[in-house]
Structure 1
Amino acid sequence: MSAPVRMDVRDGIAVITLDRHEVRNAIDQPTAEAIAAALDELDDRPDIRVGVLTGTGAVFSAGMDLRAFSATGERPVSRTRGGFGIVEAPPAKPLIAAVEGKALGGGFEMVLACDLVVAADDAWFGLPEVRRGLVAAAGGALRLPRRIPRSVAMELVLTGEPVNAARALELGLVNRVVRPGAAVDEARTLAAVIAANAPLAVRTAKLLVGRSADWPAEEAFARQAPYTDAVRSSNDAAEGARAFVEKRAPEWTGT
């Protein structure tokens, strides 16, 4: 049996591919654990700066593998990262979703756990859980209102109707739209820009964007200070200044 998740690392970028096209890249328990393990590797390896999450075939992911669930009753929840191996504990390093085809239900919730989204122009995004007597409990109802206007998020959550890539781009849910088949290449191009930056600064910037969402305005600068001070006093900050003065590319160490 082939592995449900493949990981290819080149030039500081890890492309993590869901490889269960025969079931539309649906996630069962072993696949959730494999995704979590891939994200652990992404965070642990110093030679990886950015991740790209994608799927094989014509569908990004259909979400939970309902056949596996009906057979065993087991939900695809990782011990360490929650549902689908990602939704409760996304990686500390930046992760870009490269979406071809449909990302519905849990597949969309996996996209919402990523930081940036590149989509083919035939991609669709939706949370149809209410049409099946369920709630989008793997982050859909929680994250979507933070990514797009609340009233629009409410419509998608309550109606279950999907939006296409063009509409998702208008809403700011998607960063870039490309021709079908080009999502991974464009995601790698975007990832390369991020990977060229100081890794400690990038990780800290991502952390602050996430954690500051519910900080009181009057406390925000004081709360961010320990993080930004640590970056400012890092070896990479000194190297960045030297490289600028010497008109050369910086050599980051991540320290």
Structure 2
Amino acid sequence: MSSGILFELDNHVARVTLDRPKALNSIDPEMDSALFEAWTEINSNPDIWVAVLGATGEKAFCAGANVSGGTEGDGRRMALGGGLTGVGGPMLTLRKPLVAAVQGYAIGGGFELAMCADIIVAADNAQFGIPETKVGIIGEAGIMHRAIRQLPHHIAMALILTGERIDAQQAERYGLVNEVVPLEKLLETATSWAERIASASPLAVQAAKDAVLSRAGWPLDVALATRYEPIEAYANSADRLEGRAAFAEKRAAQWTGR
């Protein structure tokens, strides 16, 4: 991987860590390219079943971005956050579940990157904000569209219109984060979430994520009538047979992701 992030793989869990603490882990072009490489590896490696996104230092998860629409090595444009946010370029869809471990400031593009996760664990010092209107900078409004979908309407509008922040406890109360823990427990708790996800059938988990998110904005009747290719493919997988056998034999399943 390029510099700007750390990348580790441990027992089917990929750890992606933003590593520019002196810059409050703000996203520069080098980090953007490194994140693109990380998400691409996670998507393509069948031995990776879940990812954890964290950051070094105590002050900030990510304080935003000083890049808009970076480029991957061959010159193609990508969206902010290595393609994950859909801001400034084509969106990269992460097929594996993503757990975000957020501490300190998660503002602007950093807040948006956190909202791309499926599970968010926040340290008790976390703060989430959309500062665009406060500083008089309005560009591509991806963060606002995500906030209005992930927060109660009036809470999201207050954040958008005032540029003020909410703390971790408020974020939990509004359903933005799954759990708030002391800073020293952040990585441990995020890892626990990842391990719980990884204990389930990885192909079933990926198929479920695809089905839910691909039809999240559609009417229920459309979602129910849709045929989902990953779910259909799972029917012929070794893991489906293993799940049935493990249930019949009253033992823990031994998943292979195949």
The answer to whether TM tops 0.5 is yes
CA offset digits 1:127-185 (Å, max 9, x no partner):
10111222373631121122121222111111111100000001110001110132111
Give how far 1:52 is off. 0.7
Amino acid at match of 1:184: L
Match of 2:89 in 1: none
Residue 243 of structure 2 corresponds to residue 240 of structure 1: yes
Q: Is 1:54–1:99's contact at 8 Å kept on the other side of the alignment?
A: yes
Q: Is 2:68–2:79's contact at 8 Å kept on the other side of the alignment?
A: no
Relative to structure 1, the CA distance from residue 48 to residue 227 in structure 2 (aligned partners, 3 Å threshold; closer, same or farther) is: closer
Alignment of 1:1-255 (within 5 A): 3-58=3-58, 59-65=60-66, 75=68, 77-78=70-71, 79=76, 81-85=78-82, 86-88=84-86, 89-135=92-138, 137=140, 139-224=142-227, 226-255=229-258
Relative to structure 1, the CA distance from residue 229 to residue 192 in structure 2 (aligned partners, 3 Å threshold; closer, same or farther) is: same
What SS does the aligned partner of 2:38 have?
helix
Give the Cα–Cα distance (whole angstroms) in 2 for the partners of residues 16 and 94 of structure 1. 13
Q: Is 2:69–2:77's contact at 8 Å kept on the other side of the alignment?
A: no
Give the Cα–Cα distance (whole angstroms) in 2 for the partners of residues 182 and 224 of structure 1. 41
Relative to structure 1, the CA distance from residue 230 to residue 47 in structure 2 (aligned partners, 3 Å threshold; closer, same or farther) is: closer
Question: CA RMSD for the aligned pairs?
Answer: 1.8
What SS does the aligned partner of 2:6 have?
strand
Give how far 1:219 is off. 2.0
Give the Cα–Cα distance (whole angstroms) in 1 for the partners of residues 64 and 240 of structure 2. 41
Relative to structure 1, the CA distance from residue 13 to residue 81 in structure 2 (aligned partners, 3 Å threshold; closer, same or farther) is: farther
Match of 1:68 in 2: none
The worse-fitting range, judged by mean Cα deviation, of 27-36 and 140-149 is: 140-149
- The alignment of Structure 1 onto Structure 2 pairs a total of residues equal to 246
Relative to structure 1, the CA distance from residue 46 to residue 242 in structure 2 (aligned partners, 3 Å threshold; closer, same or farther) is: same
Give how far 1:252 is off. 1.8
The worse-fitting range, judged by mean Cα deviation, of 79-88 and 39-48 is: 79-88
Amino acid at match of 1:61: C
Q: Is 1:136–1:157's contact at 8 Å kept on the other side of the alignment?
A: no
- Report the TM-score when normalising by structure 2: 0.89
Q: Is 2:211–2:228's contact at 8 Å kept on the other side of the alignment?
A: no
Q: Is 2:3–2:30's contact at 8 Å kept on the other side of the alignment?
A: no
Q: Which runs of 5+ in 1 are unaligned?
A: 66-73
- Percent identical pairs in the alignment equals 40
The worse-fitting range, judged by mean Cα deviation, of 121-130 and 210-219 is: 210-219
Give the Cα–Cα distance (whole angstroms) in 1 for the partners of residues 153 and 190 of structure 2. 27
